[in-house]
Amino acid sequence: MNGTVVRLTYRALLGGRRAWLLLLMSVVLLAMAVLLRLTVGVDHQVTADFLGAVSVAALVPLFGLIVGTGVIGPEIDDGSIVYLLSKPISRPRIILSKLAVAATGTVLFAAVPTFVAGLVMSGTADRIALGFGVAALVASVAYSAIFLLLSVVTRHAVVYGLAYALIWEGLLGSFVPGARTLSVQQWSLSLTEAITTRDLVSSDVRLAVAGVLLAVVIVGATWYAGQRLRVLSLAGEE
């Protein structure tokens, strides 16, 4: 990792209003959790349904998308990435630094609020909060890596990313069981299933498979993004 790359990326990503907008969405999640706790009281099934539907299925992938593409996409698009590439720093290291910012951002704005929301709604009971927190954490890293790779590979990363998150994981995932095997959402839910001590969540993927797939995706996507950045052609305008 490179401290300067991290700092520049962090400022580009979260400088100005954007951080507040992202924070606002985290706060909304927490506010809803508080509201549910006040109105419903403690109901673990509600906690699981709420965190599963709002946090793991929507908030985490969408944040992963915005943040993962945001750490490098605009720079490649407007050409300012040359200032990073024209330095004696290995390209994989640049990717690693960018991923660190993206993953940290997604974890802070999506995974941590998920964990806190779980605590608010169910306390520490049955390790529900922990289960969803860990799932959101791992999913944050995985989505960041995937969408970071996507933005190195294509200029339309946001659109393809949306298509994956909404259509593959969301729509197809709910109708076609096969699609679920290749879904970050399902892999991370299998972690939740394993951690919580009560039967609230069920994932279609076995824990071992999910763990391996998650590791492969995170490491693989990061490695490949580094390789792609090494051969990224910055053509002139002609």
Partner 1 sequence: MTEQPSGVIHDIGYRKYDGPRLGRARVTRALYAHSLRGAYGLGRSARAKVLPMLLLGVMALPAFIIAVITNVTSDITGGLPLPYSRYVMVTMPILAIFLAAQAPASLSRDLRFKTVPLYFSRPMERSDYVLAKYGALATAVFLLLTLPLLIMYVGALLAELPAGEQTGDLLLALLGAAVFAVVFAGIGLVIASLTPRRGFGVAAIITVLALSFAAVSALQGIIRYEVGDADLAGWLGLLSPATLVDGFQTWVLDASSSSVAPPPGAAGGVVYVLVTFAVIGACWALLNLRYRKVAVS
Partner 2 sequence: MSPSVLSVDTVSRWYGNVVAVNDVTMTIGPGITGLLGPNGAGKSTLIGMLAGFLAPSAGSVTLDGVTVWKNPDVYRTIGLVPEREAAYDFLTGWQFVLANAELHGLSDPGAAAKRALATVEMEFAQGRKVGEYSKGMRQRVKMASALVHDPAVLLLDEPFNGMDPRQRLHLMDLLRQMGADGRTVLFSSHILEEVEQLAQQIEVMVAGRHAASGDFREIRRLMTDRPHQYVIRSSDDRGLASALIADGSTAGVQLDDSVLSVEAVSFLRFTELLPRVARDAGIRLYEVSPTDESLESVFSYLVKS
Residues that bind partner 1 (CB under 8 A): 25, 28-29, 32, 35-36, 39-40, 43, 46, 49-50, 53-54, 57-59, 62, 65-66, 69, 73-74, 77, 156-159, 161-162, 166
Alpha-carbon torsion, ordered 3, 108, 150, 163, to 10 deg: -170
Output the six-digit token pair for 94.
């640049």
Partner that binds at residue 230, options partner 2, partner 1, none, CB closer than 5 to 8 Å by kind? partner 2
Q: Which of partner 1, partner 2, none lies near 43, with the C-beta cut-off 5 to 8 A by kind? A: partner 1
Q: How far is CA 136 from CA 49, 87, 133, 170, in A?
A: 14, 35, 5, 16
Task: Round to whole Å and give the CA distance between 27 and 107.
Answer: 14
Q: What angle do CA 129, 105, 188 make, to 5 degrees?
A: 40
Site for partner 2 in 11-30 (CB under 8 A): 11-12, 15-16
Using rule CB under 8 A, residue 80 touches partner 2? yes
The structure tokens listed for 8 are: 């520049």
Handedness of CA 68, 157, 153, 151 (dihedral sign): negative
Beta carbon nearer to partner 2, 44 or 93: 93
40 binds, among partner 2, partner 1, none (CB under 5 to 8 A by kind): partner 1
Binding region for partner 2 (CB under 8 A) out of 7-15, 38-46, 134-142, 155-163: 7-15
